[in-house]
């Protein structure tokens, strides 16, 4: 069945013919931050991050397009890569192969913010909480649009073993104990809904589902992520609320399954074309059948100022019950300057 899925996907590419000359571009960004913490020793507060991406594109004689992407790690080693065949068979379908994120990872938090997510600058301990665990896995995917439904992105991973194989190679028994995975997202412009759409202009509904066979052992459970988000914008205001649920699965038979239920809220205001402010919250409830359930909550005020390709951002964040421990806090203050090219 898995082989059939792959063969069906690749069959879309049979119409490929000769290609015209393409082009290669290099883009990237660098950010410098000053990050301090109120509840622990800060040490040296300065940090930097850099991203570099190579992209190429060409057009085939039959109307299809081909784009390739290769990014780098912070140490400028090879990172993720992806090749995409666009407008396959003239039906507006994109078929891609690679390891550049996952549909659900791309919508982990889509609520509006002026700078970072409420937990995006290090406030709180949210290890293994974020949805989209299939990001970085090698798979094959499809992107297309449907009337009313909107933009659909689906990705299938034959083996969730973390390997990014070179051509003419496979991962063999890199991790024989795991199975396959799949991820799908749907983004709907509610204004496109017949009759009701005229009352929903500015509203967007985003949904996602991901499944990861973390163990092939009998009597274990797959890891499952699900999310739904509603965003609305009018004038200079934007508001968003998102629900997320994440079950981490079981790697031992009849083991203890841990899952999380999260609520994300963001409201932003664009003061002018350059300056924006936002208030963001992230509440995460941990369910562990071997312990008492705990709730961790982060709230943050964000300010963002953009000048051409440079963005100056500031976040003041506060977390209660850090790492799901009662009365443990993790408050942070971050100033960042990023430049894109």
> Helix (H, G, I), strand (E, B), or coil: what is residue 153?
strand
Mean pLDDT, residues 144-162 taken together: 95
3-state secondary structure string, 177-244?
A: CCCCEEEEEEEEEHHHCCCHHHHCCCEEEEEEEEEECCCCCCCCCCEEEEEEEEEEEECCEEEEEEEE
| Structural contact between residues 261 and 146, judged by C-beta atoms closer than 8 angstroms | no
d(C-alpha 24, C-alpha 144), whole Å: 25
Higher pLDDT, 165 or 97: 97
Q: Distance between CA atoms of 227 and 214, rounded to whole angstroms?
A: 20
The predicted structure's pLDDT at residue 264: 97
Residue 207 pLDDT level (bands cut at 50, 70, 90): very high
Which of these, 146, 157, 27, lies nearest to 103 by C-alpha position? Answer: 157
Out of 16-20, 244-248, 265-269, least confident range: 16-20
pLDDT higher for 78 or 333?
333
Calpha distance 124→242 (Å, rounded): 19
**8 A C-beta contact, residue 314 and residue 8:** no
The predicted pLDDT at position 21 comes to 58
Q: Write down the residue that tokens 């784009």 correspond to.
A: 67
Choose between 287 and 112: higher pLDDT. Answer: 112
| Nearest one of 198, 66, 80 to 139, comparing CA atoms | 80
Share above pLDDT 90 across residues of the chain, in percent, rounded to a whole number: 62
Per-residue confidence at 255, pLDDT binned at 50, 70, 90?
confident
Q: What is the mean predicted confidence (pLDDT) over 307-317?
A: 95
Q: Which two tokens stand for residue 48?
A: 């930097």
Q: What is the mean pLDDT of residues 120-124?
A: 90
The pLDDT of residue 22:
65
Percent of the chain surpassing pLDDT 70: 93
- Decide if pLDDT at 124 tops 80: yes
User: Regarding predicted confidence, which is higher, 9 or 131?
Assistant: 131
Lowest mean pLDDT among 89-93, 96-100, 208-212, 301-305: 89-93
**Is residue 68 very low, low, confident or very high in pLDDT (cuts 50, 70, 90)?**
very high
Taking the model in full, what pTM does it have? 0.87
Our CA angle for 132, 190, 208, nearest 5°, is 15
The per-residue pLDDT for range 20-65, each reduced to its tens digit, is 556 789 999 999 999 999 878 889 999 998 889 999 999 888 888 9
In the chain, domain spans:
2-340
CA distance 77 to 198: 49
Residue 260: name the closest of 210, 291, 219, 225 by CA: 225
Asked if the 2-340 domain carries CATH number 3.30.559.10, the reply is no
Q: Using CA atoms in the order 268, 274, 275, 281, what is the torsion angle rounded to 10 degrees? A: 30
Q: Which residues contact 12 (CB under 8 A, 6 or more apart)?
A: 85, 88, 89, 93, 95
Range from 94-103, 255-264, 269-278, 279-288 carrying the lowest mean pLDDT: 255-264
């Amino acid at each position: 069945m898995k082989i059939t899925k792959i063969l069906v996907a690749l069959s879309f590419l049979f119409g490929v013919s000769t290609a015209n000359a393409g082009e290669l571009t290099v883009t990237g960004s660098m950010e410098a931050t000053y990050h301090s913490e109120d509840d622990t020793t800060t040490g040296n507060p300065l940090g930097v991050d850099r991203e570099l991406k190579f992209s190429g594109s060409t057009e085939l004689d039959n109307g299809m397009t081909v784009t390739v992407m290769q990014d780098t790690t912070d140490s400028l080693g090879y990172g993720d890569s992806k090749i995409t065949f666009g407008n396959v068979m003239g039906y507006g379908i994109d078929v891609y192969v690679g390891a550049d994120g996952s549909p659900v990872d791309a919508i982990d938090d889509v609520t509006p913010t002026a700078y970072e997510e409420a937990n995006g600058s290090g406030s709180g301990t949210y290890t293994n909480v974020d949805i989209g665990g299939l990001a970085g896995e090698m798979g094959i995917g499809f992107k297309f649009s449907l009337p009313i439904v909107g933009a659909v992105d689906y990705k299938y991973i034959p083996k969730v073993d973390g390997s990014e194989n070179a051509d003419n190679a496979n991962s063999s028994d890199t991790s024989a104990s795991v199975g396959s995975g799949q991820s799908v997202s749907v983004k709907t412009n509610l204004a496109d809904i017949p009759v009701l759409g005229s009352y929903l202009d500015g509203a967007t509904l985003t949904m996602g589902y991901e499944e990861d066979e973390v163990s092939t052992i009998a009597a274990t459970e797959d890891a499952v992520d699900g999310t739904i988000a509603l965003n609305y914008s009018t004038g200079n205001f934007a508001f968003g609320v998102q629900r997320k649920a994440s079950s981490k699965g079981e790697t031992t038979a009849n083991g203890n399954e841990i899952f999380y239920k999260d609520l994300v809220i963001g409201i932003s205001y664009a003061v002018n074309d350059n300056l924006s402010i936002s208030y963001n919250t992230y509440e995460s409830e941990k369910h562990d059948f071997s312990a008492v359930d705990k709730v961790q909550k982060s709230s943050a005020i964000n300010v963002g100022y953009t000048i051409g390709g440079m963005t100056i951002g500031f976040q003041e964040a506060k977390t209660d019950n850090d790492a799901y421990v009662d009365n443990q806090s993790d408050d942070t203050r971050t100033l960042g300057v990023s430049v894109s090219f």
